[in-house]
Structure 1
Amino acid sequence: MIDLKNKELTFESCAVHAGEKNKDQYGSHITPIYQTSTYVFNNVEEGAKAFAHEEGGASHIYSRLGNPTVEHLERAACELETYGLKDADEYVGMAFGSGMAAITTGIISIANGKHIIAQDALYGCTSQFLKEESDMLGMSCSFIDTSDLFLVEMELKKNPNTALIYLESIANPTMKVSDIQGISDLAKQYGAKVMVDNTFATPYHLKPLKFGADVVVHSTTKYMGGHGTIIGGVMVAKQSFLEEHQTFVFRKNLGGISGPMDAWITMNGLKTLALRMEKHSSNAMRVAEFLEAHTVVEKVWYPGLASHPQHSLAASIMENGYSGIISFELKGGYSAGEKMMNSVKLCTLAVSLGTVDTLIQHPASMTHSVVDEQLRCEAGITDGLVRLAVGIESAEDIIADLDQAL
């Protein structure tokens, strides 16, 4: 991070300059795209030392192991997630080819052969992986409402071989918020680690490492990339932690590293992260208030609303607003939601989130259709639930479109 002697950069400035290291040899203002699979050695000795990780070896060998463009993104993501931490220099970032590559590599390396306690409402593919595939990989998993600390401790007592507690900073799509500090304190008591998917909140609004989490992961496809143009993921944790759990080795051998083009596009997205999140958040607050007051809306879930079950907790741990995702249910249930989503004009009927335009979708039939039906219902992902990813258009225009569609 840039040193201004007695003045620390604001988060906004850090986002613009995050990851900057050495000046490019040709003076390029923006980090170049090193679109190469392999690297040339000056001689056999340099190559041998590189593979042996000895001093004097080549800095790069093969882009699945490391790439200068990808490494810039890794530094940038790390600087943003560790912003304000006193021991920030102990952390490193790892870039992946997708958010799921980051999530699954982290889970496999940490929970290898042991138990996982997972939040009951998660991104659909994460839930499917834990529910259907953890067993064949020698892991077991139980799902609970992690917003209830009592349930978390009871589950830890029930499963003394728990290696990992996995949750999302804002649950997808139920919008529940968990007490990360409380969960981290319990995890330490019982010898478990905590991994938080911070995709919804982003480090602009919430920094899980500040509250005791061991690992943070993101789908950079969403807010970090910001424009719906790439697929990617990142992980941030202490270097010693990742080395202990051989996470670097798992990524190398599972092959899920980011490509240089996606990393470069993501870095450009990070430069406007604070600017975009401020607008996403302020728009979402206005839209949530509109929906909550609408006569055909049954219920709205948004952490910024006083009616949200964990609003007080969210207000105490989140900064600069509450991000841009809203879930709501219409009084007419599934059919009403279907009719509404087929009637929007400005909003786009599409999965994903974090793009500059507003996206609307139906989790039960789209993103969470892969989730076990019983688990989905128990987690509160009803057939009538609608998820709205509020964009950076004019709030007035978004509200007008929703109003005519409703």
Structure 2
Amino acid sequence: MPIFQSATYGYSGDGNEDLVGYTRPADSPNHHALARAIASIEGTEAALVTASGMAAISSTLLALLRPGDHLIIQASTYGGTFELVHHELLPLGIESTIVDPANPGSWKAALRANTKVFYVESISNPLIGVADMEAVAAFSKQHNLTHVVDNTFATPVLLKPARLGFVVIHSATKFLNGHSDIIAGAVAGPADLIAKVKNKIVVYGGVLDPHACFLLQRGLATLALRVRQQTASALALAKFLEQHPQVEAVNYPGLASSPFHVLAQSLFKGSGGGVLSFEVKGGVSNAQALLKALQLPLIAPSLGGVESLITMPSATSHAALGVDGRKAAGISESLIRLSVGIEGTEDLISDFAQAFEAVTPANGNANNGALTDLKLS
């Protein structure tokens, strides 16, 4: 697909003005081709690309909700989503109730007469929990709710939520693009809803530029190949970390020990996805020391790229929640999130092995305080 780097388009007045006209309403050949590709992958009537994942989330919720409405939203969402729902929508008169997305028995108590939307993440950020998607869909249909899912972590390779009636959102910055070189979002669903979301995008200006559309369409071509390698390596790394004496806990639904393992097996074709999180013994100082000792993963925010990225959510994706907010969400200050890239699986495991050796004192006691002076540069 070539790049149509134009802001405006001429027309002949022969009745074809609706084809392309002006780029801000996402009306360029690049936008149209990319939207068709995403709709095809997701199995939806229509799709829309946006300037960021947050543009996709905010425009979708603003299209579905009005002052006086209420939404049900899962606990432990992405930090930007938390900020939007609890700090931006609330002053507009849109209230919300938090629920456990894997506990259907608790949802009815959150239901109100003015509830309009049930919002979940198929795999949550950063605790890597799994929503009971089939139960969410059934509950939403029973109570006439629009059910919306952020499917960024699972990707359409592992899960196509539209088959369950979900409106599907992605931070396309992540796995869909896969090369860490654009910021983008996507929404896929029924054509009438996508038209409403597009109206919000046009008004608020969150439209992707044609060059970024070109790059995102390039990324889609290798999506399945990348995700297969990333998920295979993530499972191998999760098993390695689970058995390592310096690791306190691992959050990864592909592990048989995970409380979400059964759900993941049924939803994600037996995979747990390409992202995991874990706790090392010794707290924040040891977590920082481990990150510094690693050679392959880059210490950086974001995820889903061809390179492995590692970060502490307390300092990046969930920093805005504050200590109390993170504690309430179950996110410790020392939690480490790893987005696995497409490097060799054995190379990644070897790198983690040497990093643990580098931060472990000779006597093997990681809790003796010997590493407390190590800080990230």
> Please, what TM-score do these two structures have when normalized by structure 2?
0.91
- Aligned-partner Cα distance in 2 for 1:58–1:117: 37
Is 1:62 the counterpart of 2:12 in the alignment?
A: no
Q: Match of 2:81?
A: 126
> In the TM superposition, what are the counterparts of 1:315-334 in structure 2 within 5 Å?
315-319=265-269, 321-334=271-284
Q: Does 2:38 correspond to 1:77?
A: yes
Partner of 2:226: 276
1:376 maps to a residue whose letter is R
Partner residue, 1:204? 157
Q: Tell whether 2:189 aligns with 1:233.
A: no
Does structure 1 retain, via aligned residues, the 8 Å contact 2:264–2:271?
no
Question: Root-mean-square deviation (CA), in Å?
Answer: 1.4
Question: Alpha-carbon deviation of 1:212?
Answer: 3.0
Q: 1:99 to 1:310 in 2, by over 3 A?
A: same
Given the alignment of the two structures, is residue 102 of structure 1 paired with residue 56 of structure 2, yes or no?
yes
Q: Which amino acid aligns with 1:235?
A: V
Describe the superposition over 1:16-59 as per-residue Cα deviations: whole angstroms up to 9, x where unpaired: xxxxxxxxxxxxxxx111100000122xx44xxxxxxxx54352
Question: Deviations along 1:88-141, whole A, 9 cap, x unmatched?
Answer: 5xx101010111100000011112221121111111111111111111222112
**Structure 1 unaligned runs (5+)?**
1-30, 47-54, 83-87
Match of 1:334, SS? helix
Identity %: 36
Contact kept in structure 2, 1:230 and 1:265, CA below 8 Å: yes
1:338-381: CA deviations, max 9, x gaps? 11112111111001001111111000122101125434222211
SS of equivalent to 2:315: coil
- Contact 2:130/2:264 (CA < 8 Å) preserved in 1? yes
CA distance in 1, matches of 2:120, 2:287: 28
Q: Deviations over 1:58-111 (max 9, x none)?
A: 5211011211111111111111111xxxxx5xx101010111100000011112
Matched, 1:218 2:170: yes
Matched-pair contact (CA < 8 Å) for 1:173–1:363: yes
Do 2:293 and 2:355's aligned partners in 1 also have CA atoms closer than 8 Å?
Answer: yes
Give 3-state SS (helix, strand or coil) of 1:69's partner. helix
Unaligned runs of 5+ residues in structure 2 are 357-377
Residue 187 (structure 1) aligns with: 140
In the alignment, residue 377 of structure 1 is paired with which amino acid?
K
Note if 1:172 corresponds to 2:125: yes
Q: Distance in 1 between matches of 2:130 and 2:147?
A: 15
Specify whether residues 304 and 57 from structure 1 end up closer, same or farther in structure 2 by C-alpha distance, changes over 3 A only: same
Tell me the number of residue pairs that the alignment of Structure 1 and Structure 2 aligns: 354
Matched, 1:385 2:335: yes
CA deviation map 1:162-201 (0-9, x unaligned): 1111111100001110111111111122221111000001
Matched, 1:258 2:208: yes
The 8 Å contact of residues 75 and 100 in structure 2, kept in 1 or not, is answered as yes
2:116 is paired with a residue whose SS is strand
State the secondary structure of the residue aligned to 2:264.
helix
What is aligned with 1:155? Answer: 110
The correspondence for 1:305, drawn from 232, 239, 255, is 255
- TM-score w.r.t. the length of structure 1 is 0.84
